[in-house]
Amino acid sequence: MGFGAWWHWVVVLVVVMLVFGTGKLRNAGKDLGGAVKGFKDAMREGESEPRLEDNADSRTVEGEVKEKSSQ
């Protein structure tokens, strides 16, 4: 018999509902859901844009040598 018993969780849930009320818990759930949705959308946006490390042409510098210097 430890904290994993189901009736302990019921008591914790009742205390949380008494302290915060159902309205605040509902708003907190909506805020958390909105944050997760925004994070997922941002991750999807990042996948569509190419990363600089993946594009080998962005690291290539083209030019021509005019004369050879002796050092």
User: DSSP assignment of the chain, as one string?
Assistant: --TTSHHHHHHHHHHHHHHHHHHHHHHHHHHHHHHHHHHHHHHHHHHHSPPGGG-GGGG------SS----
**Number of separate domains in the chain:** 1
Residue 59 lies inside a defined structural domain of this protein? no
The answer to whether residue 54 is domain-embedded is no
The residue segments making up the domain with residue 45 are 22-49
* Per-residue model confidence (pLDDT) at position 54: 52
Q: Is residue 39 part of a domain?
A: yes
Q: What is the predicted pLDDT for the residue at 25?
A: 83
pTM flag (> 0.85):
no
Residue 62 resides in a domain: no
Residue scoring higher pLDDT (67 or 28):
28
In a domain, 8, yes or no: no
Question: pLDDT value at position 40?
Answer: 92
Per the model's pLDDT, the better-predicted residue between 66 and 56 turns out to be: 66
Residues 19-60 pLDDT 10s: 988 888 889 889 999 999 999 998 888 766 555 555 555 566
